Structure 1
């Protein structure tokens, strides 16, 4: 049964795809093949119904893109109308001498009943309809479409920039931004197409006028020369048929032209044209009262149609009275719905939850001189670089960081920026747009006396702001030269990496699990909360990120936690939390190859810092018994560690300290802020294919 309905849906979709080609073939066939009067009646009736449908759809649309197919529909309707004119003209010239119904009853009705059988009146009515369509409606709609297309194209860059700003501010998602960009492009294409489609309608009006003249002349020649009619008889018969044919084509053309004017002249909001007119024309009772007074005074003038003027004046006065009473009732209901007390000013309304704004996880504020760096219209590249940073961060660290919200702050120095983590400043600096920052990486012998001396905001290195003409010279001297956008992007990247643990919230952990579940559903099945809770997983991942360990290998992390989570949870007392440090140690051991690769690269021989055996014993006893170090021992440990790091730096060796597993987490916390460049590993985290070489000893 499902297969049957699916086949029906496919057949329906195929039939809709064939609608356009079939319609074109029918239009061309009507121009070439003769049609009997019965089919002409059906097609003329369909043409009138189609024009009414188009007008109603245009009236009920709330924005132009709701009827984006209108230019194409306008083209098809115009071709249909012209093909009908050709087909009816053929029938009129071939069989017009047989009687007024030779071309069908529709043409007969328009030629006799609508103009009273008087061809002179018909010619005048037809000319008036053509003039209204060609001079008034079509010309005005075409001009509006032309101006609308021009203004829409001019406004496209600003709209695109506003969409990018909302995306970077986190107000909309990537899919919403892509959809809004598509709407902006479609709007420009729509008005451009309407500008061209209006030429079809104008050409149709001209063609209708020419076809009428040609048909009348052709009818006179056919009637007099071929069928032996007198000039007067031929003029009456063929002129009435031609006028009926012209009217039955021009009335739908007038309706469709009106629909085109409605589409291009409306201002888009959440109301259609009828609602806009009713809500704006009949909203002010004073306007209706004044209109009623003027019409009433005109109705009192002698020899004026008193009944028409005075009755209409009374209707407007009554309508104004009803609208006034309705507005007064709404005004009285407003304060009662809000509070039972006396009306209060809007400034003193009660606070709502909508007034509470959440702090962005990661944000940047810039001075007004740095706005050009984040404005893509002015050539700013910072936004695109931040996007690349977030993508690179996600690839390196294993999760997508929050969007960097960028806003201007007039309280900052014009060239200053600051970076905020949950509303708290974690970094700031000053850059000079248009200049280059020459950073001394160390070992540069010559000083750039022409440049403005400063400090690199990311690493605190000595640097100089130089102009474009000094850039190559600084590079030759050994300086690292970067532009202002790169300075800020590097600073953001460094802070993202340093504070990765704070950027990983419970929401990001949940999204990470959902992502893994889509890729490997069996891996995370019953993982949370059967093996570990979401809080435990969050704490483990943050613990890894705090020490700079990537969480890209979530397969290994989930497998280790699935194995050891229930075991360690069973060893805890009821009501006690699971030992997070023990879980982190198990995960770090499983990630040993990745951690070692990060520290030593591909080197098989790992040059590390070690602890003296006696110091290892003292630290183990102190940390396992009291959990803390004596002040004297801590100071000596700091001094010895600093000396060992200096030795490693002189020999260009990695700053890695390898200790027993029982000391690793405690020493990592101890050295985290005093020696952030030092990485503390345990013996169990070194894979078997690598071997250690102790090049510096602490306490030796």
Structure 2
């Protein structure tokens, strides 16, 4: 009876304590009490564990205690997830001190506020605030979204330097490709798996992949075999080769095995650079083209005034540059490209023709990137009969160029070329084919959907000092050719032999 009589006094004391301690709070009483009870989810979990023990030892009251323990565990889990999300939000907005911290903003629409201090990375302070209607219309050109498990890579307090690396990759891209990139939006997305990330182009997913932040990636390059290591097997996203996520202690063994070892942030940034180069032609808009022309106009006003608006418009220049970027040809020598357009515009305004002519003049600059040794190019070539057959299948239109292929011939070419591409990639070589200028663009467009990494060069683009060392010849058996193709080829060979047998007679 004495203990029971003290319960009202305890309740009154607790109520008085709550009223006194919340005197400086603006929230109402119910909200304040709720925060106090749920501020430490671990305490709720401990209460659940104690209730579960009571349920196990007091069999007569098992179900009441067991039900209460489940409720405590569920509550603790819910508020623990809620506290994690709030922590991410706090980090993204610089914490209580308001200092910029390189971390990723929470939510699919929350930009990384700390990234505002990084040039070229979208943040809260780099652009004026838009109205809701303007925000709905405004579309981000390129963005990176990551799962919450990868936030550690961007948190400076935990040694993360991802945002600095992205800034560096953006700068290197502009220096290497000669193209100005728009701001890169970086954010987290709770809909992704914890270790997953994806790249977006105007809101549309381009590609997604997975990295393990607490491990390093060992790749089967340079003769090493990563499959012999202990770890999580995966496929390297850029080169498409076998790789293994291994613990830091296994790194030394991976290097002894001959594998290439890189950290998770390097994998993501390398993938970012590759994706940017692959879709640069889709990023380049008319506005970006005009910005490039404005930069050139300061140094070459005569060239730009000759081109615009009498010979061509900005759209033709844009599509010509897009053709070059589509095959990862740098446009940093923009003056050469514009001079080519000015020279050829009176003959053709087709962007495909203009870009092919520009490639010939740029060859001495970009072909060097594919040489295995100075003035030495290791490349695949076509067997002459197959090459002539494919040239006869080239079809051009006002808007595109391509190959008209039947399934049998297509299957034969793919079966022959696929293992050679894979073999060159595994050896760290760039898969490369050299052919004639008549076939180059059409074959490249034909192979691009399945093998975007394949480089197709024309003999006419190679510098005079560059020599070709054949890596292999692409040839397919005669049975892979349709009957009508074989008849045409035999007729062509017969005519060639007849011409050789004729003896020229002097007039």
TM > 0.5 between the two? yes
Q: How does 1:249-648 map to 2 (within 5 A)?
A: 353-354=133-134, 356-441=136-221, 443-445=223-225, 450-568=230-348, 578-600=349-371, 603-624=374-395, 628-642=404-418, 645=421
Q: Which residue of 1 aligns with 2:488?
A: none
Shift of 1:581: 1.3
**Normalised TM-score (structure 1):** 0.47
Aligned equivalent of 1:696, options 469, 472, 484: 472
Q: Deviations over 1:591-633 (max 9, x none)?
A: 1212321222553343433333322332222325996123322
Shift of 1:163: 5.5
Task: Structure 2 unaligned segments of length 5 or more: list them.
Answer: 1-93, 104-111, 397-401, 477-507
Contact residue 157 and residue 377 of structure 1 kept, 8 A: no
Q: Which residue of 2 aligns with 1:169?
A: 122
The more displaced of 617-626 and 410-419 is 617-626
Contact residue 434 and residue 458 of structure 2 kept, 8 A: yes
Shift of 1:352: 7.1
Q: Deviations over 1:637-683 (max 9, x none)?
A: 32333365578679987633222222111111112233333321222
C-alpha distance in 2 between matches for 1:595 and 1:649? 20
User: Matched residue of 1:629: which SS?
Assistant: coil
Q: Which residue of 1 aligns with 2:10?
A: none
Change (3 A) 1:511 1:377: farther
Q: Deviations over 1:48-75 (max 9, x none)?
A: xxxxxxxxxxxxxxxxxxxxxxxxxxxx
Change (3 A) 1:377 1:535: same
Contact residue 438 and residue 480 of structure 1 kept, 8 A: yes
Runs of 4+ that moved beyond 4 A: 158-163, 170-174, 445-450, 624-627, 643-654
Greater radius of gyration (CA)? 1
2:99 is aligned with 1:157: yes
Change (3 A) 1:447 1:537: closer
Contact residue 611 and residue 699 of structure 1 kept, 8 A: yes
Shift of 1:490: 1.6
User: Matched residue of 1:406: which SS?
Assistant: strand
Task: Structure 1 unaligned segments of length 5 or more: list them.
Answer: 1-151, 177-350, 569-577
Shift of 1:362: 1.1
User: Matched residue of 2:144: which SS?
Assistant: strand
Shift of 1:492: 1.0
C-alpha distance in 1 between matches for 2:219 and 2:423? 25
Contact residue 644 and residue 697 of structure 1 kept, 8 A: no
Q: Deviations over 1:26-66 (max 9, x none)?
A: xxxxxxxxxxxxxxxxxxxxxxxxxxxxxxxxxxxxxxxxx
Shift of 1:501: 1.1
Q: Deviations over 1:556-613 (max 9, x none)?
A: 1011111111332xxxxxxxxx322111111111112123212225533434333333
2:464 is aligned with 1:684: no
Q: Which residue of 2 aligns with 1:669?
A: 445
Shift of 1:153: 13
| Larger relative strand fraction | 2
**Normalised TM-score (structure 2):** 0.64
User: RMSD of the alignment, in Å?
Assistant: 3.3
Contact residue 448 and residue 464 of structure 1 kept, 8 A: no
Q: Which residue of 1 aligns with 2:87?
A: none
User: Matched residue of 2:367: which SS?
Assistant: helix
